[in-house]
C-alpha cells in the first residue's frame, strides 16, 4: 500500500545538500511509542512504498518501478513513534567510502567544513551532523556507516550481519550488507537501538587491542583510542590484552583483497545485467570498481569466498563469547574536498584494512565520536561478537558519559 497519500512537503530546510530531489517528503508516525517526537531521514537505498528509490544514480531511478512495499525497518520506526524526514543521498549503488556523488552533489560536513562526509551513507551522516533530523537510516557493507560517522563526528552502528532485515533495500554485497543508523547524540542513538535491536545476554569481560590495527590510523586517533580503552578498563574492571588478529605471514591487505573480490563478484551477479543493459554513468572510481567486478572469474571468487570464510572464523574465535575490541573507525580524518584521487584512494585502502574486519566476520561495531587536537572529528569503535549489538551500544554510551 502506498504511503504517498500521507506525504507532505518537507518541513525542514536542507542547508547541507543531503536530500535527493525525489526525497523531499515527510511521513508521519503510525503510532505513538518510545520514539515519539523524533524524525529520521532514510538513505536512498531503502524502499518506501509510493516513493522512488534512486540508489545514488539517475539511471537506476529512471529504470526501476516505484516500490510497492516499504522496508520493515522504516515501518518499525514509524510504529515506534518516529516520523520520516525524506530520503538522503548515497554514493552510487553504495560503492564508495568518500561521500561525493557526481549526480546529486557532495553533502556539507558541518563538523569538518571543507571536507567530505564519507560514504556511502553520506546524506545520512550530513543530515544528522547538521541536526536536521534526529537520526538517519544507513547501510554498512565495507564501512559505509562507520566511516561517515567518524568523519562527521556522529554516532553510528554497523549491525551484526542479518540481525536487522535487509528486505526492501537495494543490495550491494549480500554476504556483507548490514542495516544501521546514525545519530548526533548518545541518548537518541540508544533509544533507536532499544527499538530495533533484540535483547542480548552478552556480558563483555575481555578487552582486546591490536597494535597493528591502531597503527593503520594516523596519530589523530591516539588520544581518543587511549581514552576509550582506559574507560572500558575502568567499567569492566579488566586490563586490555594485546592480540594479533592475522595469522603468520598474513596481512590486512590480503584480508581486504579477499573481501573485495568476494563482494565484487556478488555485486556483479546482482547488478551486472542492469549495468550492461542500461550503461549508466558512474564516477570514475566507481566505474573502475564495476569494471574490476566484471572481470572476477568464478574460480577467483571461489578462492576469495574460502578465504573470507577462514578469516571470519579467525576473528570470531579471537573475540570468543565475551571479548570486545577497541579500534579506530577509519584510518584518518575526512579528506578535504580538493583531495587528489591518489590521496583519497590511499586513505580508502588503509581504512578498508580496518573496516573489512567486522565486514568479513559479520559482527557489530559502534562508532563513538571524538575530536582531535585541531577539533576535527575522529571515531573510535567498539567491536563485539555477533549479536552483541545492544550490549556494546550500552557500553559505548556509558563510556561517553564518563568525564
- 239-292: pLDDT as tens digits: 999 999 998 899 999 999 999 999 999 999 999 999 999 999 999 999 999 999
Q: What digits encode the pLDDT tens for the residues 305-357?
A: 999 999 999 999 999 999 999 999 999 999 999 999 899 999 999 999 999 99
C-alpha 339: how far from chain center: 22
Q: At 174, is the pLDDT very low, low, confident or very high (cuts 50, 70, 90)?
A: very high
Nearest to 349 by CA among 271, 262, 259, 266: 259
Q: What digits encode the pLDDT tens for the residues 80-123?
A: 999 999 999 999 999 999 999 999 999 999 999 999 999 999 99
pLDDT for the residue numbered 187: 98
Angle between helices 186-196 and 389-401 (to 10 degrees): 160
pLDDT for the residue numbered 6: 53
Q: What digits encode the pLDDT tens for the residues 127-141?
A: 999 999 999 999 999
pLDDT for the residue numbered 247: 86
25 grid coordinates: 517528503
Q: What digits encode the pLDDT tens for the residues 197-234?
A: 999 999 999 999 999 999 999 999 999 999 999 999 99
Q: Is 190:301 a contact under the CB 8 Å cutoff?
A: no
Q: What digits encode the pLDDT tens for the residues 23-64?
A: 999 999 999 999 999 999 999 999 999 999 999 999 999 999
Stated pTM of the model = 0.96
- Please give the backbone phi and psi of residue 182, each rounded to the nearest 5 degrees, phi first: -125, 150
How long is the chain?
403
pLDDT for the residue numbered 9: 47
pLDDT for the residue numbered 201: 96
pLDDT, average across residues 367-374:
98
Nearest to 120 by CA among 72, 158, 86, 85: 158
- Please give the backbone phi and psi of residue 76, each rounded to the nearest 5 degrees, phi first: -65, -40
Q: What digits encode the pLDDT tens for the residues 146-168?
A: 999 999 999 999 999 999 999 99
pLDDT for the residue numbered 13: 86
pLDDT, average across residues 371-383:
98
Angle between helices 298-319 and 252-278 (to 10 degrees): 140
Q: At 1, is the pLDDT very low, low, confident or very high (cuts 50, 70, 90)?
A: very low
Parallel/antiparallel/unpaired status of strands 8-9 and 25-26: antiparallel
The answer for residues whose C-beta is within 8 angstroms of residue 37's C-beta and 6 or more apart is 81
pLDDT for the residue numbered 33: 98
389 grid coordinates: 549489538
Query: Is 2 exposed, middle or buried, given 0-12, 13-18 or 19+ CB atoms closer than 10 A?
Result: middle
Q: How far apart are CA 127 and CA 330, in angstroms?
A: 20
The set of catalytic residues is 43, 120, 144
pLDDT for the residue numbered 191: 98
Amino acid at each position: 500500500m502506498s504511503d504517498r497519500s500521507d506525504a507532505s512537503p518537507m518541513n525542514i530546510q536542507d542547508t547541507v545538500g543531503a536530500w535527493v530531489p525525489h526525497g523531499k517528503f515527510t511521513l508521519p508516525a503510525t503510532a505513538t511509542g518510545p520514539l515519539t517526537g523524533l524524525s529520521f531521514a532514510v538513505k536512498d537505498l531503502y524502499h518506501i512504498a509510493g516513493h522512488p528509490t534512486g540508489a545514488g544514480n539517475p539511471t537506476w531511478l529512471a529504470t526501476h518501478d516505484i516500490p510497492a512495499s516499504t522496508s520493515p525497518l522504516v515501518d518499525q520506526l514509524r510504529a515506534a513513534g518516529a516520523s520520516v524526514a525524506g530520503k538522503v543521498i548515497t554514493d552510487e549503488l553504495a560503492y564508495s567510502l568518500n561521500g561525493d556523488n557526481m549526480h546529486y552533489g557532495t553533502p556539507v560536513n558541518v563538523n569538518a567544513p571543507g571536507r567530505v562526509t564519507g560514504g556511502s551513507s553520506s546524506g545520512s551522516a550530513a543530515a544528522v551532523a547538521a541536526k536536521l533530523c534526529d537520526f538517519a537510516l544507513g547501510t554498512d557493507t565495507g564501512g559505509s556507516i562507520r566511516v561517515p560517522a567518524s568523519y562527521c563526528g556522529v554516532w553510528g552502528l554497523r549491525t551484526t550481519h542479518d540481525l536487522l532485515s535487509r528486505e526492501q533495500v537495494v543490495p550491494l554485497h549480500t554476504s556483507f550488507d548490514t542495516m544501521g543508523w546514525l545519530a548526533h547524540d548518545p541518548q537518541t542513538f540508544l533509544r533507536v537501538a532499544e527499538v530495533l535491536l533484540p535483547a542480548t545476554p552478552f556480558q563483555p569481560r575481555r578487552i582486546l587491542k591490536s597494535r597493528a590495527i591502531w597503527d593503520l590510523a594516523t596519530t589523530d586517533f591516539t588520544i581518543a583510542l587511549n581514552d576509550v580503552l582506559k574507560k572500558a578498563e575502568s567499567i569492566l574492571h579488566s586490563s586490555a590484552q594485546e592480540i594479533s588478529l592475522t595469522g603468520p605471514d598474513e596481512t590486512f591487505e590480503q584480508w581486504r583483497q579477499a573481501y573485495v573480490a568476494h563482494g565484487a563478484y556478488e555485486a556483479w551477479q546482482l547488478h551486472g545485467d542492469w549495468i550492461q543493459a542500461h550503461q549508466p554513468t558512474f564516477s570514475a572510481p566507481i566505474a573502475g570498481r564495476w569494471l574490476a567486478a566484471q572481470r572476477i572469474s568464478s574460480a577467483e571468487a571461489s578462492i576469495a569466498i574460502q578465504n573470507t570464510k577462514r578469516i571470519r572464523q579467525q576473528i570470531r574465535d579471537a573475540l570468543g563469547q565475551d571479548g570486545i575490541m577497541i579500534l579506530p573507525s577509519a584510518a584518518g580524518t575526512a579528506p578535504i574536498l580538493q583531495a587528489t584521487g591518489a590521496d583519497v584512494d590511499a586513505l580508502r585502502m588503509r581504512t578498508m584494512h580496518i573496516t573489512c574486519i567486522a565486514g568479513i566476520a559479520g559482527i557489530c561495531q559502534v562508532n563513538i565520536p571524538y575530536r582531535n587536537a585541531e577539533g576535527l572529528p575522529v571515531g573510535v569503535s567498539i567491536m563485539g561478537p555477533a549479536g552483541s549489538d545492544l550490549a556494546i551500544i550500552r557500553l559505548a554510551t556509558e563510556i561517553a558519559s564518563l568525564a
